[in-house]
């Protein structure tokens, strides 16, 4: 909790999250607060989950005259091959937006924003690419209705449907 004014400055939380306000971003004194507090935050969209705490950085939705830099520490987490860490931002009565992806070796995620609100490092699940084959996935099919003709069959019919593919592989 720090009061910043026209000269700008930085506010830090004990775990390393910070807000850097450049000179001229404020025209008057403003109290900046950083807390792990998800109260009132909108739910994360499908396909995203928090990797750590959700930070309430206030005052929410207050516009700055110049962009401010928000930094969040990357939490220790294990990711699947199709997952990545992303910095997310939301406003009251708003939705979450991805600000940037983490790069290998990052210790912090940072982004310039025009307003404060809720921030979190999230885990995004990326779509896996389909395996490629030299030809499109193709198949042949045949239907065997035993001793009777399939096209003339009425009522209950015992049949065997056989599908043979070209070996195309879909992700599991």
pLDDT at 77: 85
SS (H, E, C) the chain: CEEECCCCEEEECCCCCEEEECCCCCCCCEEEEEEECCCCCCCCCCCEEECCCCEEEECECCCCCCCEEEEEECCCCCCCCCEEEEEEEECCCCCCEEEEECCCCCCEEEEEECCECEEEEEEEECCCCCCCCCCCCCEEEEEECCCCCCCCCCCCCCCEEEEEECCCCCCC
pLDDT value of position 27 = 86
Q: What is the pLDDT of residue 36?
A: 94
**71's tokens:** 């930094």
Query: CB-based contacts of 14: which residues, under 8 Å, 6+ apart?
Result: none
Buried b / exposed e along 123-134 (16+ C-beta atoms within 10 A): bbeeeeeeeeee
Q: Which residues contact 76 (CB under 8 A, 6 or more apart)?
A: none
pLDDT score, position 87:
92
Spell out the per-residue pLDDT of the chain, length 172, in tens.
577 877 888 999 999 999 999 999 988 889 999 999 999 999 988 888 889 999 999 998 788 999 999 999 988 888 888 888 899 999 877 889 888 877 766 788 889 999 999 999 999 887 655 455 454 555 566 667 777 676 666 666 666 666 666 555 554 4
Which pLDDT value is given to residue 93? 76
The answer to whether the pTM exceeds 0.85 is: no
- Dist CA 23 CA 4 (whole Å): 10
CB 36 within 8 A of CB 53: yes
pLDDT of res. 4: 82
């Amino acid at each position: 909790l720090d009061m910043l004014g026209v000269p700008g400055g930085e506010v830090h939380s004990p775990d390393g999250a910070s807000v850097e306000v450049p000179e001229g971003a404020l025209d008057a004194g403003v109290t900046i607060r950083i807390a792990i507090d998800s109260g009132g935050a909108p739910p994360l969209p499908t396909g995203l989950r928090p990797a750590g705490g959700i930070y309430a950085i206030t005052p929410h939705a207050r516009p700055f005259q110049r962009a401010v830099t928000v930094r969040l520490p990357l939490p220790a987490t294990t990711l699947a091959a199709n997952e990545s860490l992303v910095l997310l931002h939301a406003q009251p009565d708003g939705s979450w937006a991805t600000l940037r992806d983490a790069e290998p070796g990052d210790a912090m995620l940072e982004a310039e924003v025009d307003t404060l609100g809720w921030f979190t490092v999230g885990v995004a699940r990326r779509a896996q690419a389909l395996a490629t084959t030299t030809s499109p996935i193709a198949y042949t099919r045949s239907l065997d209705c035993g001793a009777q003709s399939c096209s003339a069959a009425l009522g209950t019919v015992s049949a065997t449907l056989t599908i043979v593919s070209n070996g195309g592989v879909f992700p599991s």
